[in-house]
Structure 1
């Protein structure tokens, strides 16, 4: 997702200000999970089909079996991510899935906002928001509906706590139209 698409989502979500409803719960759209699980099942079918129609030697069977395991792990991870519900409140952020994790805004230790491009010109990429507090780590990708409000709340909390933000995080926040006021810059 390009930065301009993320900005469009921010505007469309009505998250122009930080004062939103008390608790907002978000779950990824079913279409994204179905697409990813479909890809994983196609990979499993392809590797299983190759193993069935050919008689691979021990190395071929190990490679095809390993690939099938990777596709199955990808499907399980996608399903687990889709089942997770992200709740954002004035107090903090909670991810409730297979494991429940919670970070209070007042205990936020670090914020990282990274952009990954799929092309050399910097277009067609996605962002990744990583929040840490002690040993708890939460990551939200820009295609998730909770990304925009989580980024706004997290950067606001980072500014209140005077957390050091990397130059990349500050630049990516500005690209989203969020001014990371008060955050100290770190290399």
Structure 2
């Protein structure tokens, strides 16, 4: 059973962003007494950076297990989606530049009232997507045009709808 993890290298930039954000927002709150409106804004931003730090730590200690039965995230707030229960598959691309040359992908799988999300920085992301697409094909799920385009960008055969084989569905 393949096990996928978020490597320390892939999370390093997120840890640095969280630390820098906390320093820039929490440090002024600690060192000076800003006006209450400024303090409220800095406090809210510090809370967001703290949540981002915690989410990054959660990804570091979470392992994804993929097998013939489904996908399971083990760690804090772990979840599982059985392939037999798969009801939705979405693949989104988030660009960090206007030219869309840099960015990351985000896979969302839903089934049996559970939602499992996987970011492309995890080792073996394309293998996870491949297994999910196979499960979607087996279930006859219809995928959104955005998901079909992103699958094509990853090199998956998606001239039309790769799940149903409908050549006009992929738009």
- For normalisation by structure 1, the TM-score amounts to 0.80
Match of 1:15?
none
Match of 1:182?
163
Contact 2:5–2:64 (Cα < 8 Å) also in 1: yes
Aligned length: 165
d(CA) in 2 for partners of 1:50, 1:69 = 14
Match of 1:159?
137
- CA drift at 1:119: 2.4
SS in 1 for 2:140: coil
Match of 2:98?
120
RMSD: 1.9
d(CA) in 2 for partners of 1:112, 1:121 = 23
Match of 1:7?
none
- CA drift at 1:186: 7.4
SS in 2 for 1:137: strand
SS in 1 for 2:93: strand
List, as ranges, runs of 4+ consecutive aligned residues in structure 1 with deviation greater than 4 Å: none
Alignment of 1:78-157 (within 5 A): 78-157=56-135
Structure with the bigger RCO (C-alpha within 8 Å, sep 6+) is 1
d(CA) in 2 for partners of 1:46, 1:139 = 30
Which structure 1 residue ranges, 5 or more long, are not aligned?
A: 1-22
- For normalisation by structure 2, the TM-score amounts to 0.86
